[in-house]
Structure 1
Amino acid sequence: MSTKYKKLILSLILDAIGLIPIPFFDVVWAPASAYIMTKMYKSKEGKIAGILSFVEEIIPFSDIVPTFTIMWVYSYIINKEKVDTIVEA
């Protein structure tokens, strides 16, 4: 399996973790998801996605947005020409 699809599977798992309905879990998960996002995607876009991931996770009831999967789609489908600049996690 290629790294591309490993990142997709990891993205789906991380988005599912963000859906865990435990009180105050978002306080811990928001900074963790931002950090993981910036490590998975080392580009400028990865840093922006990290900020968006933090904001999306910290705001109540916005957890349904699949931030990691959206970033994967952006990186590997929409913005194919820049994939080579993305450093592997």
Structure 2
Amino acid sequence: MNLQNLSKNKKLLVGLLFDACGYISFIFPPFDFVWAPASAWLMTKLYKGKKGKIAAAVSFIEEAVPFLDIIPTFTLMWLYTFVFSSEKKPKETIIDIN
């Protein structure tokens, strides 16, 4: 499964879905035993590199600790990556040959 190549809009939708899955533990608390490691793994699949690993650790802790499930970790990571990150992407250079 290669989630890293999804467009940013699809990553947002997938993140919202994964955040919603985290809320299942409010109804069925034992779900956290399965969801905490799964959410960490999915986070590493959505976001590569060091920031993906850090987000995975945060996601695991957030899902494993009771009453922190309300935090939308996947959505916050999407906001960090696509809205607040200062990482510059290379600009395209157009060379006009006439």
Fold conserved (TM > 0.5)?
yes
How many residues were matched structurally?
A: 83
Which sits farther off after the overlay, 16-25 or 73-82?
Answer: 73-82
| Alignment match, 1:9 | 13
Of Structure 1 and Structure 2, the greater helix share is in 1
| Alignment match, 1:56 | 62
CA distance in 1, matches of 2:46, 2:56: 10
Q: Tell me, yes or no, if structure 1 residue 79 matches structure 2 residue 70.
A: no
- Structure whose alpha-carbon radius of gyration is higher: 2
Distance 1:40 1:22, change over 3 A: same
- Moved beyond 6 Å, runs of 4+: none
Deviations along 1:56-78, whole A, 9 cap, x unmatched? 00001110000000000000011
TM-score with structure 2 length normalisation?
Answer: 0.79
Q: Does 1 or 2 have the higher relative contact order (CA < 8 Å, sep 6+)?
A: 1
Give the drift of 1:81: 2.4
CA distance in 2, matches of 1:17, 1:51: 17
| Alignment match, 1:40 | 46
RMSD of aligned Cα (Å): 1.7
- The code of the aligned residue for 2:80 comes to Y
| Alignment match, 2:96 | none
Which sits farther off after the overlay, 18-27 or 49-58?
Answer: 18-27
Distance 1:82 1:69, change over 3 A: farther
Identity %: 55
